[in-house]
Amino acid sequence: MAQRPIPFQIGEWFHCYNRGIDKRDVFNEERDSERFMQLLYLSNDTRGYQRSNITDRTTEEIVLYERANPLVSIGAYCLMQNHYHLLLKETTEGGIVRFMQKLGTAYTMYFNKKNDRTGNLFMKPFRSRHVHEDTYFQRVVSYIHCNPAERFESGWKKGVVGNMNKLEQVLRSYRYSSFPEYAGEKRQIGKILSRDGFDVYRNTSPRRMLEGARAYYADIAIDDPNFYSPAAE
Domain ranges of the chain: 13-130, 133-227
Give the residue from 64, 89, 112, 100 showing the smallest Cα distance to 9.
89
pLDDT of 230 reads 41
Ranges in the chain, pLDDT < 50: 1, 221-223, 225-226, 228-233
C-alpha distances (whole Å) from 25 to each of 20, 60, 148, 230 are: 6, 25, 15, 16
Q: Please give the single-letter amino acid code of residue 200.
A: V
CB atoms within 10 A of CB 114: 13
| pLDDT (0 to 100) of residue 233 | 44
SS (H, E, C) 24-54: CCCCCCHHHHHHHHHHHHHCCCCCCCCHHHH
Task: Assign domain 13-130 to a CATH class.
Answer: alpha beta
| Residue pair 73/197 in contact by the 8 Å Cβ criterion | yes
| Nearest CA among 222, 201, 230, 28 for reference residue 127 | 230
pLDDT digits (tens, 9 = 90+) for 60-100: 999 999 888 999 999 999 999 999 999 999 999 999 999 99
pTM of the full structure:
0.90
Tell me what the pLDDT averaged over the chain comes to: 87
Helix and strand tally (H, E) in the chain?
9, 4
Distance CA 115, CA 93 (A): 35
